[in-house]
Amino acid sequence: MSISEAGANAAIVAARRAADEIGIPMNVAVLDHGAALKAFARMDGALLGSIDIAVRKAKTAALFGMNTEAIGEFCRTTSPGLELTNGGLIVFAGGIPIHDQQGRTIGAVGVSGGTVEQDQHVAAVAATAAETSLKGAAQ
């Protein structure tokens, strides 16, 4: 199963609200479980250089089913240069997988535009919103 349009939209809407609350315009990318683009939004004023970062964060999280900073931990410990694979991964926080109710990765969200902590916060809100929307749809 892969993330639906409704789930992707829930992620985008939640990310936008969370970014507005902290006053930082963000780029938000939602990819499906195969790392193909599902939805994207660049808020007014978000950094142009962050478009690619948001997409790569989501790609990294989708391809490995892990938060991007966890991939970064592998780079530092057991797997130097891992970030050079798959056309370039992002190995700091801001990419988070989205799971279905059985715990399978169905996509990922990537957020970029603020500090790493801000990006991570907004991505977490977005991933949770997508997962919550799945539960609503399943009822």
Spatial distance between the Cα atoms of 138 and 45, rounded to a whole number of angstroms: 36
Q: Compose the 57-96 pattern: x for residues touching its own copies by CB under 8 A, - for all others.
A: ---x-xxxx------x--x--xxxxxxxxxxxxxxx----
CB of 34 to its own copies, least distance (A): 3
Nearer Cβ to its own copies (33/124) = 33
Spatial distance between the Cα atoms of 107 and 58, rounded to a whole number of angstroms: 8
Contact region for its own copies (CB under 8 A) — 26-34, 95-103, 121-129, 130-138? 26-34
Spatial distance between the Cα atoms of 64 and 59, rounded to a whole number of angstroms: 9
Pick the binder of its own copies from 10, 19, 24, 35 (CB under 8 A): 35
Under DSSP, the state recorded for 36 is -
CB of 66 to its own copies, least distance (A): 9
Q: Within a 13 Å sphere around the CA of 65, how many CA atoms are in the beta-carbon half?
A: 8
Q: Is residue 32 a contact partner of residue 62, using CB atoms and an 8 Å limit? A: yes
Q: Is residue 31 a contact partner of residue 59, using CB atoms and an 8 Å limit? A: yes
CB of 93 to its own copies, least distance (A): 9
Q: Show the tokens assigned to 14.
A: 């939640």
Q: Please report whether residue 32 would count as binding its own copies according to CB under 8 A.
A: yes
Q: How many residues bind its own copies (CB under 8 A)?
A: 48
Q: Can you give the binding site for its own copies, defined by CB under 8 A? A: 4-5, 8-9, 32-44, 47-49, 51-53, 56, 60, 62-65, 72, 75, 78-92, 115-116
